[in-house]
Structure 1
Amino acid sequence: MAGLPISPATLAKDLLAILDRDDHRLQRIDRYVHGKHDDPYMPSHADDEYRLLAKRAISNWMPLLISAVAQALYVDGFRPGAAGGQLPGAPSSTSTEWSHWARSRLDARQAAIYRGALAFGHAFVLTEKTWRGVRSKGLSATRTAALFEDPAGDETPYAALTVASWPTPSRPGTARMWDGRREYTVTFKSLADIDSIRVTAGPLHGAGECPVTRFAASVDLEGRTVGVVEPMIPLQNRINQSVFDLLVAQTYASVKVRTVTGMAPPMETEPVVEDGEVVGSRVRLDEAGNPIPAKIFHNARRFLFAEDPDARFGTLDETPLAGFIESIDMSVRHWAAVSQTPPHMMLGQIANLSAEALLAAQVALARKVAEFQSTFSESWERVFRLAAELAGDEAAADDYHGEVQWRDMESRSLAQAADALGKLAEQLGIPKRGLWKRVPGVTQSEYEDWVDMAEEDDSAGQLASALTRATPSEPVSGANTELVAA
């Protein structure tokens, strides 16, 4: 479709139509992430107390679902590739790609991109030239749409649009749109009003393709993106309903109810006054002439007694709450199994678990994280190539062998890591310097400092290098040959 002559106005209409189509679904996901869930079922004539219990029944598990994965995703290095199929070069904080990363403050901002992609199924990153250099920034899926020739297989869109401001009654909305060559300004009165769309051509963006990159959590062969939130909404609703039923039973039926039969309630009385003096009392009547029962204030410190021998006292047993609690636990366990979240993270039960059991519980989550790392790595590599192209680094812009380096977020002590790395070096013969990047928590700058210090401390190696440079590679004459040989 990239070769077809599609007008910018047509592209803008198609992109805004995508936002209009997906708006309801994405807004529902956003509500669930922020704890604004659908109310549990309750009778249509429910009073305010029921509705208050419904609000308190919301147990929002969605942030944990996202954080469990997002907190294990952290890019802390990029290893450029090399031409000719050679080994990739050493990581460098001064490379074009990593300088762009630092300039864009992506150490802190990358988390928002992952959280958006995990929540909605996809997020976007815009790479562009600014007066401070090439920068990249995340774009929300609720504001951004992209068009692909093959949505399932292509990494490069042929057009993308992001809403800068939504329309109001007094002014139209504005959006930025990019194709393979140019940026456009788009105005519109509403997403559904295609006749109000106006497109104004802007400057060339400088890249050879659309500068917007999609970060998709999961893409099927139909090109549909699915995050971690939407499939879990039915289970979240089930948990909320179980908690609501528990709160209703706890509020209205969790205590014993005292009953009495054959006993007339006391009536309210009022004084009888004659000639300004109280001479007695009588039962107070309502407007219809019926006696008014007196209010009985009964608590654990008061006793009721009846003069009539036919009166009978009794109790109604409370509703057992154990069944509701078991139902909630079952739903949470189903949640953990379906979402690949370790059960102890949700239930808070880690007593009497061995290290092997904890490791086994983390296996499913670790595989899930590894899948997202593989998917997001391809997106980051395209961002780095775009940044290099916009910076004028042609070699880096054509580098398809670069590797994104993810920080090892597994919880291990430094002693355990040192022991494991030492065994790799001693028993397998892996070069020690090649294992430095495996040290937990080491950053790109620290790694480069270690390399520099190692070269400065390697006095023997420097002397050998100097002697090698000073020694002629071939003899000049016979006399000199004898001197060198001697």
Structure 2
Amino acid sequence: MPQPAVQSPEWWRDRLYNALCKRTEETNVFDDYYECEHPLPHLHERARAPFRRLLKMSRANYCELVVDAFVGRLEVAGFQSDVDGGSDEEAWALWQDNNLDGGSQLAFLEAAIRGNAYMLVSPPDGRRGFRITPEHPTQVITEGMPGNAGEMAAALKLWMDDWTRRLCCTVYLPDRIYKFDAPELKVGEAPRWVRREVRGEEWGGKNVLGEVPFGELANRPRMLKPGASELRSVTGIQDRINKTITDRMMTQEAAAFPQKWATGMEIPVDENGQEIEPFDVAVNKILIAEEAGAKFGQFAAADLSGYLKAKEADVTDIAAITSTPPHYLLGSMVNLSAEALKAAEAGLIHKIYQRRRFLEEGLERTMRLAGIASSQARIVWKSPEWRTEGELVDALVKMGTLGVPREVLWERWGATPQEIERWRRLNEEALDRAMDGDFAAGYGAKPEAGIPEDGVPAAVGE
């Protein structure tokens, strides 16, 4: 079969499809670890059947904690214009209209697990405005323009049509959009694609946006590598933890209880000559033997402290490698001061600020594709730092004495741009009412209680 021409729709389809399949196979491992589908620890063949129940109980999912501790503090609070009359309100209305409070969280989560996620921008269709939808990294892949990584050359969206059971894909180029589907799928064979044409329309619709309509949310990318999973460095440690837990549970099953022994006595046998256990040991039973030389004793129970320390050491390794506060993973907090908590979370806060820079680039491209200029509506994030109300208010009061504008103090307090605008309007309305009251009082209106008719308050002490 002849190969498609370079940069033709078929060439991009095959190229991106193969890249997407390869990336999905690699990142499925991290998705399994997040979902607590860890591989079972290795045991000898003879030991697997008796201890299979213990193997299934040995999974302790620290990978989920690592990801959730990071993603839980990624939250877009709004948009803020850099110039007067900017488009921050328009951007926030678009954000809310597309339910991106929750949609962005889904995209951030997938980016943290698999390394990448996407936002698809669809142009207005006459019934509603721009449509922005989060896209899963197993269904979408993009490729940058050679020599200009900030510009996208093409993108592919792949999905299975649940109604027709057909594999479908769409190739997005800056000028055109092409659709394909594979009516028949055979295991072990590449899809046999055919053009998906709409009756009465030319194959390959026009891309009215003039750009590949995706914003890429990349987690911890490098110069020559795409985004990477937060779990890339800890899956091996997770396996160690599961193995340690399995060994501990096997020890508990076999040797954690003191084993009894007896000597100097004859063991009874049944009618078939098989030995009979002479004692039924329990907390309310007494062991008695008629032989004068009989002796009883017990072995020491197995010490489990070594397993517990080994597991704790591995969890500490995860905390250090992923910058996750140790008390999140170990669950132990003993008389920790506010300063100690801040120090423990410093690494996580730094990681969040670092990761947000690349996520923000994808979000800004998404909003720009939807008609919102990123230079006029920058993204405002909720602060990931933990501070007590008293500490924060005290710092803001001191900043106010230095002449810091009131709106800036509100922003530092954590108010969203929408809350700041609402508070500003309320203050202006209150000031207008006060001025209207002074104006009315000057023209004979009934003064307020405690104010003389001439409008001049009495001196203190009169």
Structure 1 position 11 matched with structure 2 position 12? yes
Question: How far 1:197 sits from its partner (Å)?
Answer: 2.1
- Report the equivalent of 2:346: 363
Structure 2: where are the runs of 5+ without partners? Answer: 197-202, 437-462
Following superposition of structure 1 onto structure 2, how do residues 381-392 of structure 1 map, counting pairs within 5 Å?
381-388=364-371
- Report the equivalent of 2:72: 71
Decide which of 285, 292, 306 is 1:323's aligned counterpart. 306
Decide which of 82, 101, 104 is 1:107's aligned counterpart. 101
Decide which of 300, 307, 311 is 2:290's aligned counterpart. 307
Decide which of 97, 105, 121 is 2:115's aligned counterpart. 121
Letter in 1 for 2:150: E
- Report the equivalent of 1:454: 427
How far, CA to CA, are the matches of 2:118 and 2:232 in structure 1?
Answer: 19
Question: How far 1:71 sits from its partner (Å)?
Answer: 1.2
Decide which of 117, 127, 130 is 1:134's aligned counterpart. 130
Decide which of 139, 143, 146 is 1:147's aligned counterpart. 143
TM-score (norm 1): 0.80
Letter in 2 for 1:113: A
What per-residue deviation string (whole Å, max 9, x for no partner) do you get for residues 205-261 of structure 1? Answer: 421210011111011222232110122101111111111111111111111111223
1:164 touches 1:176 (CA, 8 Å); kept in 2? no
What per-residue deviation string (whole Å, max 9, x for no partner) do you get for residues 403-432 of structure 1? Answer: 2111124333444323222221212x2211
How far, CA to CA, are the matches of 2:6 and 2:276 in structure 1?
Answer: 86
Question: How far 1:305 sits from its partner (Å)?
Answer: 2.9
RMSD: 2.7
- The DSSP-based 3-state class of the residue aligned with 1:154 is strand
- The DSSP-based 3-state class of the residue aligned with 1:164 is strand
Following superposition of structure 1 onto structure 2, how do residues 154-165 of structure 1 map, counting pairs within 5 Å?
154-165=149-160
2:34 touches 2:64 (CA, 8 Å); kept in 1? yes
Question: How far 1:456 sits from its partner (Å)?
Answer: 2.8
How far, CA to CA, are the matches of 2:407 and 2:30 in structure 1?
Answer: 46
Alignment CA distance shift 1:91-1:406 (3 Å): farther
How far, CA to CA, are the matches of 1:444 and 1:249 in structure 2?
Answer: 58
Alignment CA distance shift 1:214-1:132 (3 Å): same
- Report the equivalent of 1:261: 263
Q: Rg larger in 1 or in 2?
A: 1
1:128 touches 1:205 (CA, 8 Å); kept in 2? no
Question: How far 1:25 sits from its partner (Å)?
Answer: 1.7
Letter in 2 for 1:11: W
Structure 1 position 30 matched with structure 2 position 25? no
- Report the equivalent of 1:179: 173
How far, CA to CA, are the matches of 1:107 and 1:18 in structure 2?
Answer: 30
1:19 touches 1:145 (CA, 8 Å); kept in 2? yes
How far, CA to CA, are the matches of 1:434 and 1:20 in structure 2?
Answer: 48
1:77 touches 1:91 (CA, 8 Å); kept in 2? no
Structure 1 position 242 matched with structure 2 position 244? yes
- Report the equivalent of 1:436: 410
Structure 1: where are the runs of 5+ without partners? Answer: 82-87, 269-283, 389-395, 464-486
How far, CA to CA, are the matches of 1:232 and 1:180 in structure 2?
Answer: 39
1:53 touches 1:244 (CA, 8 Å); kept in 2? yes
Aligned length: 422
Letter in 1 for 2:397: G
How far, CA to CA, are the matches of 1:243 and 1:101 in structure 2?
Answer: 45
What per-residue deviation string (whole Å, max 9, x for no partner) do you get for residues 76-110 of structure 1? Answer: 111234xxxxxx34676532x22221111111221
Question: How far 1:292 sits from its partner (Å)?
Answer: 6.4
Alignment CA distance shift 1:439-1:267 (3 Å): same
How far, CA to CA, are the matches of 2:187 and 2:108 in structure 1?
Answer: 27
Alignment CA distance shift 1:191-1:361 (3 Å): farther
Decide which of 208, 211, 216 is 2:210's aligned counterpart. 208
TM-score (norm 2): 0.84
- Report the equivalent of 1:277: none
